[in-house]
Amino acid sequence: MKKTLKRFVAIAVSATMLFGMTGCAAKSQEKDSKDTSDGKVKLTFWSWLPTNDQSDEMIKEFEKENPDIEIEYTRTEQDDFFEKLQVAMASGTGPDLFGMTTGPMMEQYSKFSMDMGSAADQYWSGWKDKINTNAVSQSTSKSGTLVGMPMLIAGMTTLMYNKTLMDECGIEKVPINYAELKDAADKAKAKGYVCVAAGASDDWINTDWFVQTSNEFEKGAVYEAEKGDRKWTDKCFVDTMNAWKKMFDDGIFEDGALGIATYPDARDQYFFARKSVFFMTGSWHLGPTSTSNTEIVGTEIGNKKDVIGMEPFPSVSDSVERLGTSGVDLMVCINKDCKNVEAAMKFIEYLSDGWGQQYWVNYLQGSPVSNEIKYKGTIDGELQQQSIDDVNKYVADAAGSRKLSNSEVEKAIHVAMQNVAAGADPNKELETVQQIYDSSK
């Protein structure tokens, strides 16, 4: 009897485990059921934007406008987002809508995305007149498909500054060229402050800086090199590398910047902690110029009620012109397996040209992609209006796109920049970039 019982238990356990495994598989395949029990269309949406602060209000308002649609939003930090998405897409369990960046990521995900141009033509009349043409062009793949709808535009590189600390250090104006930046660094150092807090361990900010600054030395050269029309070893790129090295040698950036990330390290431990006068970032970070911005509440600069502003990054070439780059900071794609395209398009319209877009723009999350939307938020910072105007002009006058389309070349540039900052020869490092470019073709 005992033996029979043991056998029974063994068989039952084996069977349970096997059924458990198959059960899991069945469950994941059933996940795509879109209609909720109350008859609403349910759309899953994964992205890093909107932030948690923004998403509740934005989604609530959309669901109020569209009571028959329910949005199930999952936010993941941008660094982890793409791993999560890649695994989900590979296993066929991706969301209906997902956030995306332009460049290499967009090219890769284009095969998983619905042609946004066709979907918009069908469900959103007149969209082409409403959305920024340049942003649409940046969201179009090499094969000519509009991969996703652009949502926000961001410009690189900008300098967030602490006016209160500038006054304390005797820095009379925000530097606009390298000589003024060097002078500011000397004055900041004399008072025990870091001049510019930079997260030079991040590949994204380094390559953004390289693309932007190389345009100062020779406008458009970086895009020609990307197409193979010129060499990465050309003088303008060597000059860019040398300018980068000077940032470290002249003490513009903090010591050990190569080991510090922009977010959260450089922002929190230096700029928000009142240890640096400036912070190298992009146009999306205009929020702290408002005294009521939640991001600075409880930080040293918030507690001391410091006056914060933002300006384009100083020109580091001999030219006085500060030449920025701009790019789509976020686009939203529709999964090609999405069954409710009409509902998905309503949400996309809301985010790119409706209440959602206005909310984002008022939040200073980025510049609008909608031609009809302008900043309508409250101006509550001493320098906020000036910062918004200056940065928006900088973004509007941008020399070109912020991102390259080859991830291996972007990585190679980042590695070369770090090696140059640590003392390597710029020419040799750029030769390596060229070799990687050649082998990736």
Partner 1 sequence: MKKRGKSDRIAYLYIFPLMILSFAIVYYCIIDTVFVSFTDWDGMSAEFNIVGASNYVKMLKDPVFWGSVCNNLIFFVGTVFVQAFIGFILAVFLKTKLPGTGIFKAVYFMPIAMATSIITSIFKILMDPTNGVLNQFLRSVHLDMFACNWLGDPKVALFSVILVNIFQWMGFSMMTYYAGLMGLPDDVYEAARIDGAGFFKTVFHITFPMLRGTTNVLVILGIVGSLKTFDIVKLLTGGGPGRSTTVMNTYLYEKAFNDFNAGGAASIGVSILILAVVMSFIQIRLGEKE
| Residue 89 makes contact with partner 1 by CB under 8 A | yes
Report the 3 state secondary structure along 384-408: HHHHHHHHHHHHHCCCEECCCCCHH
User: With CB under 8 A as the contact rule, which of the stretches 136-144, 262-270, 325-333, 349-357 interacts with partner 1?
Assistant: 262-270
| Residue 194 makes contact with partner 1 by CB under 8 A | yes
Quote the least distance from Cβ 317 to partner 1, whole Å.
25
Q: Which helix H or strand E contains 196, and what residues bound it?
A: strand 194-197
Distance CA 191, CA 280 (A): 20
| Residue 256 makes contact with partner 1 by CB under 8 A | yes
Counting residues that bind partner 1 (by CB under 8 A) gives: 42
User: Which of 11, 24, 190, 379 lies at the binding interface for partner 1 (CB under 8 A)?
Assistant: 11
Distance CA 235, CA 227 (A): 17
Distance CA 80, CA 77 (A): 6
Distance CA 202, CA 259 (A): 9
Rg (CA), the chain: 25
| Residue 24 makes contact with partner 1 by CB under 8 A | no
Closest of 200, 260, 198 to residue 419, by C-alpha: 200
| Residue 90 makes contact with partner 1 by CB under 8 A | yes
Which of 110/387 has CB closer to partner 1? 110
Q: Binding mask 32-51 vs partner 1 (x if CB under 8 A, - otherwise)?
A: --------------------
| Residue 326 makes contact with partner 1 by CB under 8 A | no
User: With CB under 8 A as the contact rule, which of the stretches 39-47, 63-71, 179-187, 266-274 interacts with partner 1?
Assistant: 266-274
Distance CA 378, CA 355 (A): 16
Which of 12/396 has CB closer to partner 1? 12
| Residue 411 makes contact with partner 1 by CB under 8 A | yes
Residues 109-128 that bind partner 1 (CB under 8 A): 111-112
Residues 390-409 that bind partner 1 (CB under 8 A): 407-408
Which of 221/430 has CB closer to partner 1? 430
Structure-token pair, residue 64: 């109020």
Q: Binding mask 272-311 vs partner 1 (x if CB under 8 A, - otherwise)?
A: -x-x------------------------------------
Distance CA 47, CA 330 (A): 9
User: With CB under 8 A as the contact rule, which of the stretches 31-39, 85-93, 286-294, 396-404 interacts with partner 1?
Assistant: 85-93
Supply the angle between the helices 407-421 and 203-217 in degrees, to the nearest 10: 80
* Residues belonging to the chain: 441
At 325 the three-state DSSP class reads strand
Distance CA 331, CA 117 (A): 13
| Residue 329 makes contact with partner 1 by CB under 8 A | no
Q: Answer yes or no: are the C-beta atoms of 400 and 220 closer than 8 Å.
A: yes
Its sign, for the CA torsion 393, 225, 330, 175, is negative
| Residue 13 makes contact with partner 1 by CB under 8 A | yes
Give me the residues that bind partner 1 (CB under 8 A), please.
6-7, 10-11, 13-14, 17-18, 21, 82-83, 86, 89-90, 108, 111-112, 194, 200-201, 203, 254-260, 265, 269-270, 273, 275, 407-408, 411, 415, 418-419, 421-422, 424
